[in-house]
Amino acid sequence: MPVNRIIPSLLLRGGRLVKGTAYAGHRDAGAPASTARAHNAQGADELIVLDIDAAREGRGPDLDAFAAIGNEIQIPMTAGGAIASLESARAVMAAGADKICLTTTALDRPELITELAEHFGRQAVVLGIDVTGEGENARLHDHRNGGTARDGDWLAWMQEGVARGAGEIRLMAVDREGSRRGFDLELFAAARAAVNVPLILEGGAGGLDHLSEAMAAGADSLALGTMLVFSDNNIVKLKRVLAQAGNPMRP
């Protein structure tokens, strides 16, 4: 069985990396290629790279940035950002991505999930689920307008996405992004009980304790943004401590 994964989550804007809080207030977070090279060298298990302006600007994703990152790493890259067609997905894969992350484009046209799964295999299709609120108030979120999508029923949409061919889920607790107050483990448990595909949990990581708690709760794949960007945490140290605590990590 796979070991646990630590996955830096990189957001692209105008050829630079940025990081914000709850999908707003983005600050500059460095150059994409050199950051990716550092994560690769420190033993990141995978990268998620999302072009966050592509959807709002009504364009395709930044292929040059994906290629620049892809050239620096020997770990897998999941890429996303307004990928709305098979042609666009093919260009992103050709630029060096291993998996495609669909979020808003799948909401607009759910058939896209199946089209990509039939072409690349479902293991290459990651469905992004953005959730705001917590517990009974958790709602599926559309970051383009800040509103609710599909009547808010994130669980039903996630299950539909898997049935349509998504082979992995990126589950994002939007309110926790950049908050450093820990992962939403209740959200994770609800998702884990509902689908059998791999789940990547994101949003709220602030320190080592949060990673340990999440792994103890069964969240084996954790995406980190702010925690890596605006602090002196390095992945070598994090993974070593997690391994010493008995978590299955990559040697």
Partner 1 sequence: MQVTVIDYGAGNLRSVANALYLAGAEPEVAASPEALAGAERIVLPGVGAAGHAIARLRGSGMADALDEARARGTPILGICLGLQLMAQRLDEFGSHEGLGWIPGRVGPIEEAVTTPCRVPHTGWSAIAPTPRADGLIGKGPKDRTVYFCHSNCLTTDPDIVAATVDLGSPVTAAIRHENLFAVQFHPEKSQQAGARLLQAFLDWTP
> Which residues of the chain form contacts with partner 1 (CB under 8 A)?
1-3, 5, 40, 43, 45-46, 67, 70-71, 74-76, 90, 93-99, 117-124, 167-168, 196-198, 220-221, 250-251
Smallest separation (angstroms) from partner 1 to the CB of 50: 18
Smallest separation (angstroms) from partner 1 to the CB of 64: 13
From residue 197, alpha-carbon distances to 105, 157, 181 in Å are 20, 14, 26
HSE-up of 40 (CA within 13 Å, CB side)? 15
Q: Which CB atom, from 125 or from 140, has the smaller least distance to partner 1?
A: 125
Which residues in the chain belong to E strands, given as ranges?
Answer: 5-13, 16-21, 24-30, 47-51, 77-80, 99-102, 125-132, 139-142, 147-148, 168-173, 199-202, 221-224
Q: How far apart are CA 154 and CA 176, in angstroms?
A: 17
Q: Which CB atom, from 24 or from 189, has the smaller least distance to partner 1?
A: 189
Smallest separation (angstroms) from partner 1 to the CB of 25: 32
Q: Which CB atom, from 108 or from 115, has the smaller least distance to partner 1?
A: 115
CA-nearest of 63, 59, 50, 48 to 12 is 50
Q: Whose structure tokens read 């969240």?
A: 219
Query: What are the φ and ψ backbone dihedral angles of 184, each rounded to 5 degrees?
Result: -90, 90
Smallest separation (angstroms) from partner 1 to the CB of 184: 21
Smallest separation (angstroms) from partner 1 to the CB of 47: 11
Q: Which CB atom, from 75 or from 241, has the smaller least distance to partner 1?
A: 75
Q: Which CB atom, from 65 or from 174, has the smaller least distance to partner 1?
A: 65
Whether 4 and 198 have beta carbons less than 8 Å apart is answered as: no
25: left (phi over 0), alpha (psi -120 to 50) or beta: left
Q: How far apart are CA 42 and CA 137, in angstroms?
A: 38
Smallest separation (angstroms) from partner 1 to the CB of 62: 16
Q: Which CB atom, from 114 or from 148, has the smaller least distance to partner 1?
A: 114
Q: How far apart are CA 200 and CA 202, in angstroms?
A: 7
Q: Which CB atom, from 78 or from 226, has the smaller least distance to partner 1?
A: 78
Smallest separation (angstroms) from partner 1 to the CB of 179: 27
Q: How far apart are CA 232 and CA 236, in angstroms?
A: 12
